[in-house]
Chain A
């Protein structure tokens, strides 16, 4: 068991050091949600009226509404970035190094997942601190209650990235991932607009948003910020997380040979 934990600690440390080393990635990860918060939300504030729906007990400004969605955005982008890093690793050979470890392959993948989620969560808190500087603040208890929501949400989105990385063959395909995965997932969710607002324009759109696991992750985060548990969202997040992780382990199974194309 100590061997397993040693690997987890080493993989987490490596991810953290690499992240610190890539300062531009850190800055980009923070600038993106800050732009949405400061520029986009300010513009939308006037256009979009929000009614009082749970977990909000009073009238809420758009800047406050959008924060959980932007926390989710950080987790989503980081999950995909981790997927990019897996593809890059695989091309660089260090993924192969990882896979020749005598530890079970599923555990090595879980280690990568835990490591990238830890880094995502760190970024979320830095973003919340910046948002607080801009006057968008939540209660201290809310910040603390957020952590147990960020863990499953981050793991689920990281697992999605991991599953994708097992099938992406080339680095440049990440542009495709942006267009066909990240943007639809983000825009077809409750990150930017509440479900009832979606329903006003189309019932189908509302249904797609409702089943989107990313919406559930965002709602889990939103409720947690107000110290409430959205059990349905949690269940949906856990379930989809398990499905993605299962797909990733399947994709990296040596007998499947999905990764053989990358090695060819």
Chain B
């Protein structure tokens, strides 16, 4: 069983081909970075992976469940962190988390236990009653990560999760998710355009103009070069 499998996925907006026969697999417990310049097709890939819309061609499998044939099973095993914040700023941490839990069918004591465990992992216990607006940017993002794990997904998809954060927070969040992947066996797909978020041992997919340009570990792919230089040489575009 694979964590995440994408086969021959293509998508076009009218005449513009956004994704062209993209195939890759991410094994369970692997942190996989998806690197690509703006317009490479990352957002389209995420929209398809999260079933915002479906592709006429290709196949997506989440923890062994086909997204087209068993979308609800596939979605149940998936956690998502979107690029745009999706917290209700005027609601409390508790309300935000229990809303999400209920969308995944969790409620009552079971939901509450998971919510509290999530906050403990974040080292934020006792802050359930705070309004999200009063949290800083880093805490909000970590809260969203904790929320995306409440239903115990096997695969976590993150679309440029560190946008707008300062360097220290960015580093802390990147390390946190790497750690989750290692310790919990979580399959992670982390889209980014920042090469310093990628560790040498990570699987790396480079998406360029809708096509998968490279797939391997970051160490293999970059060879003797720094990752940013390798990327620049490959795509002709700075990241």
Interface on A for B, CB 8 Å cutoff? 2-4, 6-7, 9-11, 13-14, 17-18, 21, 91-94, 96-104, 108, 254-257, 259-260, 263-264
Contact = CB atoms under 8 A, between A and B. Distances in A.
A47 B82 CA distance: 57
Given A10-B98, A102-B73, A254-B52, A94 B86 contact: yes
Interface of B: 13, 43-44, 47, 50-54, 72-73, 75-76, 78, 80, 82-86, 88, 90-91, 95, 98-107
A74 to B, nearest CB: 24
B37 to A, nearest CB: 17
A96 B82 contact: yes
B104 A17 contact: no
Contact of B50 (A92, A100, A255): A100
A14 B91 contact: yes
B43 A263 contact: yes
Contacts of B105: 2-4, 6-7, 102-103
Given A7-B105, A97-B103, A264-B43, A102 B75 contact: yes
A251 to B, nearest CB: 12
B99 to A, nearest CB: 5
Contacts of B44: 264
Contacts of A104: 72
B50 A6 contact: no
Given A2-B105, A6-B107, A100-B75, A257 B53 contact: yes
Contact of B84 (A13, A92, A108): A92
14 contacts: A2-B107, A7-B103, A11-B99, A18-B88, A92-B86, A97-B80, A104-B72, A108-B103, A254-B52, A254-B53, A260-B13, A260-B52, A260-B53, A263-B43
